[in-house]
Structure 1
């Protein structure tokens, strides 16, 4: 009878699915639970990597302003928390300079590690202890493109002003202002500016006319850029005055002049060729009238005793700075002790100023339709104003000139 009962039970198919489900369901539920927990680990890993990236970028940006470790730590922590990092079961480590990876020992690199110890859920059945998950990032202050416009004034509003109908193309070079003003760089009106980046110690005020190829937004609260020519010695002015300072006459008049001291100004009204050398304009105005045609290479012009520049908009100017020697790359040098005056550089569409216009005590105004695209024109002045169409290039190395660089850009490098 027992045998018959066993045979009857074995042949009965009722409840098979329920029995099979009861046996398999724990495995299925466990699989779902394990998958969900693994997905949560992956999500946390991505969150922490994002936190590390943001914290590293913020810390490197702070490094531009302050090399205080406490400041770097505070900024990094605040940035990480803003992205979801949980301080209750996590740790964040700010290391400056970076100690691991490609940029170990680099004083311009900040390394951030963000870690959270995640309590186990389903996997606690198989293993003990929290799950450590971390994200790591390194951000670096990198050298951007060379600057071709640098304002040295540390307080002026609109230290670099590009306004009106100005149409400015800066080829491979940046704009920087040392001013702490809330509009240290001011791009306004219908002005158009194309440049890799604009930066300032203060803030940048710009209309939609500003386009940048390397920066998504202007770099604000940047480091002060050092005067690249601060140690440049002034030439001696203890030489006799030249007998002739005005070069005019009929339309066909041409002159060739040499370096020397031109007292009371230098007036170019017709065709003048400058021989290589140092030209000292002692007082008065270095003037180019509308009929002027001026050319010269290996030339450095020094303005002293309140001398100023005034070039007419239709003047034809072709000037290049020395490519060697103490004044290599310097086209115009204004006496540091002079009072602030305005130096006006105009020219026609073919004009070229290859070299640096250095006026640490002056205000430089670039107007007219001058264009030197592809060459090397740098403007380093107390304040700078561009109101006309200007194409300033920065192919300085090819000409043997100085490069004005400053470490401004923050980049995530690891």
Structure 2
């Protein structure tokens, strides 16, 4: 048997006819199988690419939604919408994507996971396996919410060293934030041993290591995206804008009250050669005698102006006498003297003494002004065209609803001990009194001092040296000038914010709050940029 098989194989080997047919017959199954596998593999690859791209985009969309608190709850819907927008070939064979949250790299639900699959029977693979082919795709995207920062002290210079300098024994415990836009490695510096609790300190440059070593403040240095919150503001022009000047009006004393009067007629008798040497007679009943006559009280006059310092009660004054000879001759002449005596009764008297003072109104003050007496600033926009506004310690200054515009190098200097209350103008006041448009008035709402960007600016001439009687409510913006702050300031109706080219807090600074209770700063130096990254 085996010998027969060997013989047949030998004959087949020796036969040279029909080789091509045999090879083709043997190769056809492999050719057909390879072609079928290629077609199916191309299908799988297309499904996989489309599914993977769709779940990648869905995961990113869901992560972006989660990174914003306003849209966080919509992440699943956003992911599914994005998935649907990126599938085409697998639309009829894919599953609804599964969208969920997952922990990533130690975080808690800080990523969005999306998975999907597509399944279909393909001719060749189904013939070989007897099963439907399923392709799956998975994607994971992490997210982090962007952080926004406000600040009560903002240095706007972009490259100065010591843009914010805190010196001596300054005390700043307001926990309202310090920001510097300077990219200098020493943008915020400490000179001395201050007491600090600023809450957070942010800078486009470096921050003195003293702050990290001696406080619990959040430190964020070399940050990108910091900006001047008032950079878009343009200098307003009030309307009307008359030329104005400063003048003190002398003080005065005025008295008002009620008054009624009566007039009595009084007769006396005198004896002598003339009225100059006559002596009064104790009694007289002779020729020409007239009896005294008592008048009647007139009606009350109410709330009338009275001589200064008049008090309640009755006073009298004698009129000029009239002399009449009634008898005798020579040294025995007798004279009758008549006097009208007027009585005044006063009631409800009020005496008001006013100090020397000045009342100012909206307009342009060329050269500025130095406060020289008690001063009231009526609501409005005060354009200081060069010079200064200097407020010294002995005078009271009040102004509610005011906005100072500093032009041509003008600056403001508030000396220690001043009894000052200044409050920035509201949007409504800026529209009604200042004549600003509604849009611009809204931008300047609460602004107390604004420096024109075309101004020359000043170095260390803007100065605030306050005490417990200094009340500053509003925003102070000096983009071209430096400012020095010493002492303290009270806050009663609006947050105090100081934004200047450079800021120096002197050794006597003592600020524990920049906002009244229940209020907080809302002008952001960083709006926060969310980060999203595809990690799987």
TM range (shorter): 0.5 to 0.7
* Correspondence 1:210-221 to 2 at 5 A: 211-212=215-216, 215=218, 218-221=219-222
Of 201, 205, 225 in structure 2, the residue corresponding to residue 198 of structure 1 is 201
Of 80, 95, 104 in structure 1, the residue corresponding to residue 66 of structure 2 is 104
Shift of the alpha carbon at 1:389?
2.0
Given the superposition, is the C-alpha separation of residues 376 and 311 from structure 1 closer, same or farther in structure 2, using an over 3 Å criterion?
same
Shift of the alpha carbon at 1:193?
1.9
Could you tell me how far apart the structure 1 residues matched to 2:194 and 2:412 are?
Answer: 24
Could you tell me how far apart the structure 2 residues matched to 1:206 and 1:169 are?
Answer: 18
User: Which ranges in structure 1 are unaligned for 5 or more consecutive residues?
Assistant: 1-93, 116-134
Could you tell me how far apart the structure 2 residues matched to 1:97 and 1:197 are?
Answer: 33
Residue equivalent to 2:445 = 328
Of 358, 362, 372 in structure 2, the residue corresponding to residue 259 of structure 1 is 362
Alignment deviations for residues 316-347 of structure 1 (CA, whole Å, 9 cap, x no partner): 22111122141211100111111231311122
Given the superposition, is the C-alpha separation of residues 363 and 246 from structure 1 closer, same or farther in structure 2, using an over 3 Å criterion?
farther
Of 227, 240, 243 in structure 2, the residue corresponding to residue 241 of structure 1 is 243
Alignment deviations for residues 116-143 of structure 1 (CA, whole Å, 9 cap, x no partner): xxxxxxxxxxxxxxxxxxx996432222
Could you tell me how far apart the structure 2 residues matched to 1:154 and 1:114 are?
Answer: 36
Structure 1 outlier segments of 4+, above 6 Å:
94-97, 248-251, 409-412
SS in 2 for 1:225: coil
Shift of the alpha carbon at 1:375?
4.3
Could you tell me how far apart the structure 2 residues matched to 1:114 and 1:375 are?
Answer: 43
Given the superposition, is the C-alpha separation of residues 378 and 288 from structure 1 closer, same or farther in structure 2, using an over 3 Å criterion?
same
Please state if 1:177 is matched with 2:180. yes
Which deviates the most, 343-352 or 155-164?
343-352
Of 362, 381, 392 in structure 1, the residue corresponding to residue 500 of structure 2 is 381
Could you tell me how far apart the structure 1 residues matched to 2:207 and 2:469 are?
Answer: 31
Residue equivalent to 1:226 = 227
User: Which ranges in structure 2 are unaligned for 5 or more consecutive residues?
Assistant: 1-55, 73-101, 107-139, 252-353, 431-440
Could you tell me how far apart the structure 2 residues matched to 1:339 and 1:316 are?
Answer: 30
Alignment deviations for residues 276-326 of structure 1 (CA, whole Å, 9 cap, x no partner): 100111111110112122111111011111111111111122111122141
Please state if 1:141 is matched with 2:103. no
Larger radius of gyration: 2
Given the superposition, is the C-alpha separation of residues 96 and 320 from structure 1 closer, same or farther in structure 2, using an over 3 Å criterion?
farther
Could you tell me how far apart the structure 2 residues matched to 1:352 and 1:187 are?
Answer: 27
Alignment deviations for residues 8-42 of structure 1 (CA, whole Å, 9 cap, x no partner): xxxxxxxxxxxxxxxxxxxxxxxxxxxxxxxxxxx
Shift of the alpha carbon at 1:362?
0.7
CA RMSD of aligned residues (A): 3.8
Please state if 1:298 is matched with 2:401. yes
Could you tell me how far apart the structure 1 residues matched to 2:487 and 2:224 are?
Answer: 32
Contact 2:59–2:141, Cα closer than 8 Å, also in 1: no
* Correspondence 1:389-408 to 2 at 5 A: 389-394=510-515, 398=519, 403-407=523-527
SS in 2 for 1:142: coil
Contact 1:366–1:390, Cα closer than 8 Å, also in 2: no
Could you tell me how far apart the structure 2 residues matched to 1:113 and 1:407 are?
Answer: 25
Please state if 1:339 is matched with 2:456. yes
Please state if 1:186 is matched with 2:189. yes
Alignment deviations for residues 233-265 of structure 1 (CA, whole Å, 9 cap, x no partner): 3133894421x3254978932332211111111
* Correspondence 1:355-374 to 2 at 5 A: 355-372=474-491
Shift of the alpha carbon at 1:189?
0.4
Contact 1:184–1:204, Cα closer than 8 Å, also in 2: yes
Given the superposition, is the C-alpha separation of residues 112 and 384 from structure 1 closer, same or farther in structure 2, using an over 3 Å criterion?
farther
Contact 1:240–1:261, Cα closer than 8 Å, also in 2: yes
Of 115, 139, 151 in structure 1, the residue corresponding to residue 155 of structure 2 is 151
Q: Give aligned pairs, total.
A: 293
SS in 2 for 1:207: helix
Could you tell me how far apart the structure 2 residues matched to 1:394 and 1:305 are?
Answer: 31
Could you tell me how far apart the structure 1 residues matched to 2:530 and 2:177 are?
Answer: 15
Could you tell me how far apart the structure 2 residues matched to 1:229 and 1:114 are?
Answer: 39
Could you tell me how far apart the structure 1 residues matched to 2:243 and 2:168 are?
Answer: 40
